[in-house]
Amino acid sequence: MDDMIETQARIVEIDNDGNVWVESMTSGSCSSCASADGETESGGCGAGKIGQMFTLKAKKYRVVDNLGCKTGDDVVIGVKEGSILRGSAAVYMLPLLLIFIGAMAGTQLAPPAQSDLASMLGAAFGFIIGAAWLARFSRRASRDPRFQPVILRSVHNNFFMLKEIKS
């Protein structure tokens, strides 16, 4: 079984199709990131702090609810690590690869005097193909349970969570 990446969230809306909308209760950085406490010198990348600078309001995410939670419930949501890697490769690597292949093909197929223009046109064509493939992949992934975050467990409001104190 794949490891899960987890975060705590609060349910803000419930759909009729068994999904819920949640807002993250964390700062936007991963739970193991030292920058969550503002300690970027101790190994954190600081991406959560950068994300906070450009976010005007809390973002809502659609999550599969198999537990029957209610609006206002605090929950732990998770997504499989493997799906993050596959999704990242699809979003970043394949379109870049198609742009590169298009540019190289344009350079090879054009006469030497037109190679720069052909390279730019080939890269543009590769970008268009990559964008079309990515739109199709996104539609499929939005319905594929392997790529969907799910509610793992409910966090009871009368309990508190301890956070590791770094020395």
Where do the domains of the chain lie? 4-155
Whether 34 shows a pLDDT value over 60: the answer reads: no
- The full length of the chain comes to 167
Whether 36 shows a pLDDT value over 60: the answer reads: no
Average pLDDT value for residue range 39-47: 55
pLDDT score for 134: 92
Residue 70 to residue 73: CA distance in whole angstroms: 6
Q: How far is CA 158 from CA 10, 154, 161, in A?
A: 15, 12, 10
Confidence of residue 48 (pLDDT cuts 50, 70, 90): low
pLDDT score for 124: 97
Apex 158 CA angle, 153 and 159, nearest 5: 65
Whether 29 shows a pLDDT value over 60: the answer reads: no
